Amino acid sequence: MRTDFVRIYKSVHTWTGILTGMALFIAFYAGALTVFKEPLARWIAPPGALQQIPLEQAPQLIARTLAAHPDSRRDFTLHLRQAEHLPAPMGWQTRPTEADDHDETAVRHFVATLDGNGEPQVQAHQPSALPHFIDVLHRVVGLPVDTDPNRWIMGIVAALYTLALVSGVVVLMPSLVKDFFALRLGRNLKRMWLDAHNVVGIVSLPFHLVMALTAVVFAYHNGIYALQDKLIHDGQWSTAFQRQQPAEGPQEKRDPSQMLPPLELVAKARAFAPGFTPSMLQYQQVTGPRAVVRVWGKDEAAVSPRARGGFLALDPYTGRVLSSDFLPGRQSTPNLFISSFFALHMAAFGGTPVQWMYFLLGLAGAWLFYSGNLLWVESRRCKQARDAATPPPQRRDARLMAAATVGVCLGCICGISLELVGGKWLYALSGGGNEATGLLYYSAFFAAIAWAFLAGAGRAAVHLLWLACALTLAIPLTSLTGALLPGSGLWAHGSPASLGVDLTALAGAACFALMARATQRRLSQGRQDSVWAPPTRQPGDAPGQGAENGSPV
């Protein structure tokens, strides 16, 4: 390939990466955590106050709860397995009709079980907002609200991200074999970081292409769904995932006590799809003529249309199959095509091994964007050094980009760890804390950015990495406190899911400590004309700004 073409693609790769790198860091770091959204929900959930009941008593629970609470008839869920974040077997939500499907702020949650006398025991329940908040950060690249305009911004970022991937491959193609197998360790840290950046990028290229293309689809999915519904499904497909609305006109009332027992519905679903493992039943409009129960679950050998799996729609009174369009392994070709976008993006296939692979690839992707920005910063220094007889001062744009990269990326890490720990402590101290979830994250996030600009990228990187280490280490220490001092109000569930969160956080804290020590060495031993050098005041600098050494490149 001609050298001038390679230079053009290199410029495209550099500037698309610079424009999107920090937003993509947040999306990938938060996205890696959302792969294990349920374990996070289980870790932070307080111990349930209501007693669980065997599934054999579920018909009695359903009939008596619906009679006492008519608002639950429209849409309620029966969980088939116990978990820390499920305080009772039966639950439902009330949501204003005008609210967006992604808006969780106006939703009220209720749960129900049977007391010792067989009477329904109902209470309001507020699940932790933490898993949803992290998911929103991932979906809208760090913006605070999951709205259509913010998703469109995410779509633009994803489109630029795709362009950066393609141009990066073109740039690397002339020396692909030589550079792919080269990881040159030594005194030239910039070369070592560039080699590592190239290797990680090429190895994970299929994953990144999937993330980029599916993110564009998600950003503009409403228009895509409308077109697919009109051209393929004659206007019927879009109703499958919408909240069911009551039929117009007089309706024949049906008696919920006549519905088939949940265990029988589960047995029918398993007989219809032997590899399918049900996890919950979602009942809709059970007193009307269009009653349906969705048997949700997963089949690890098949593609699922959602992160929580897929469903088989049955008539709750007769057990007749109403639809298998969203059942893993039984989807039609058009539905499977759409479901594959969700499955490939959300690791909704292959079970736990694929989830761990996505988790590690997500963290590697976050490092890729962090290192890419810092390589650009260090490249500016190398270019200046070639053109000057003495080491020149760092350019202002390089210093500002280094500070912004350190502040945004490490601020995101600190913010998420703080909201995990803070959410649990706030609940222990005051019995609440959902309203502070976003406040904790954005306080740490913007404080980290401010400190990066005040102290300089190099010094701030050391401080923020140690802070990230401390806040992440506080996650398992909080669980340990709950286990050893239950009187403190904290709790430790001890389940494999919750223990996995603690062990992963412990490993993350160790990684941040190693990174902090390496950055400190670079700060004290690196070149004095690097952005990672200790800050020195330059003419025209504001207090706290200077030519600093802010990256381990």
Q: What is the mean pLDDT of residues 132-143?
A: 90
Q: Rg for the chain (alpha carbons), in Å?
A: 26
Q: How far is CA 384 from CA 173, 248, 373, 397, in A?
A: 27, 73, 17, 13
Greatest mean pLDDT range, 139-153, 182-196, 404-418: 404-418
For residue 540, what pLDDT is reported? 46
Decide if pLDDT at 167 tops 90: no
Backbone angles phi, psi at 36, to 5 degrees: -110, 50
| Higher per-residue pLDDT: 167 or 57 | 57
| Higher per-residue pLDDT: 144 or 468 | 468
As a whole number, the mean pLDDT across the chain is 83
For 23-82, what is the HEC assignment? HHHHHHHHHHHHCCHHHHHHHHCCCCCCCCCCHHHHHHHHHHHHHHCHHHCCEEEEECCC
For residue 269, what pLDDT is reported? 95
Indicate the pLDDT class of residue 66, thresholds 50, 70 and 90: very high
For residue 537, what pLDDT is reported? 46
Q: What is the mean pLDDT of residues 7-33?
A: 86
Per-residue b or e along 386-419, where b marks 16 or more CB atoms closer than 10 Å to that residue's CB: eeeeeeebbbeebbbbbbbbbbbbbbbbbbbbbb
| Higher per-residue pLDDT: 511 or 341 | 511
Q: What is the mean pLDDT of residues 210-215?
A: 89
Q: Which residues pair with 283 in a beta bridge?
A: 76, 293
Decide if pLDDT at 544 tops 50: no
Whether 512 contacts 409, CB under 8 Å: no
Indicate the pLDDT class of residue 172, thresholds 50, 70 and 90: low
User: Among the listed ranges 54-58, 324-328, 368-372, 512-516, which one has the minimum average pLDDT value?
Assistant: 368-372
Question: How many angstroms separate the CA atoms of 62 and 339, rounded?
Answer: 32
In terms of DSSP bridges, do strands 321-323 and 90-94 run parallel, antiparallel, or are they unpaired? Answer: unpaired
At residue 313, the 3 state secondary structure works out as strand
For residue 94, what pLDDT is reported? 87
Residue 157: is it exposed, middle or buried by C-beta count within 10 angstroms (0-12/13-18/19+)?
Answer: buried
Indicate the pLDDT class of residue 526, thresholds 50, 70 and 90: low
Closest by CA to 392, choosing from 384, 402, 401, is 384
Q: What is the mean pLDDT of residues 312-338?
A: 91
Q: 10 Å Cβ neighbour count for 432?
A: 11
Indicate the pLDDT class of residue 306, thresholds 50, 70 and 90: confident
Q: What is the mean pLDDT of residues 323-341?
A: 87
Indicate the pLDDT class of residue 528, thresholds 50, 70 and 90: low
Indicate the pLDDT class of residue 395, thresholds 50, 70 and 90: confident
For residue 99, what pLDDT is reported? 60
The beta-strand segments (E) located in 285-428 are 292-298, 310-314, 321-323
- Which sign, positive or negative, has the C-alpha torsion 474, 480, 486, 492? positive
Where are the chain's structural domains?
Answer: 48-127+245-324, 388-525
Contacts of 22 (CB under 8 A, 6+ apart): 369, 373, 404, 405, 408, 409
**Residue the block writes with tokens 């990187």:** 461
Percentage with pLDDT > 70 across the chain: 79
Q: How far is CA 393 from CA 188, 397, 546, in A?
A: 20, 12, 9
For residue 170, what pLDDT is reported? 76
For residue 546, what pLDDT is reported? 43
Decide if pLDDT at 470 tops 90: yes
**Residue the block writes with tokens 């249309």:** 305
For residue 237, what pLDDT is reported? 58
Decide if pLDDT at 384 tops 80: no
Go through the chain and tell me how many residues it has: 553
Contacts of 214 (CB under 8 A, 6+ apart): 341, 342, 344, 345
User: pLDDT tens-digit profile of 46-61?
Assistant: 887 677 888 999 999 9
Decide if pLDDT at 548 tops 50: no
Contacts of 259 (CB under 8 A, 6+ apart): 59, 62, 286, 291, 293, 316, 317
For residue 349, what pLDDT is reported? 87
Question: How many angstroms separate the CA atoms of 39 and 181, rounded?
Answer: 37
Q: At what angle do helices 58-68 and 262-272 cross, to 10 degrees?
A: 120
DSSP class of residue 542?
P
Q: What is the mean pLDDT of residues 323-331?
A: 90
Contacts of 204 (CB under 8 A, 6+ apart): 361, 364, 365, 368
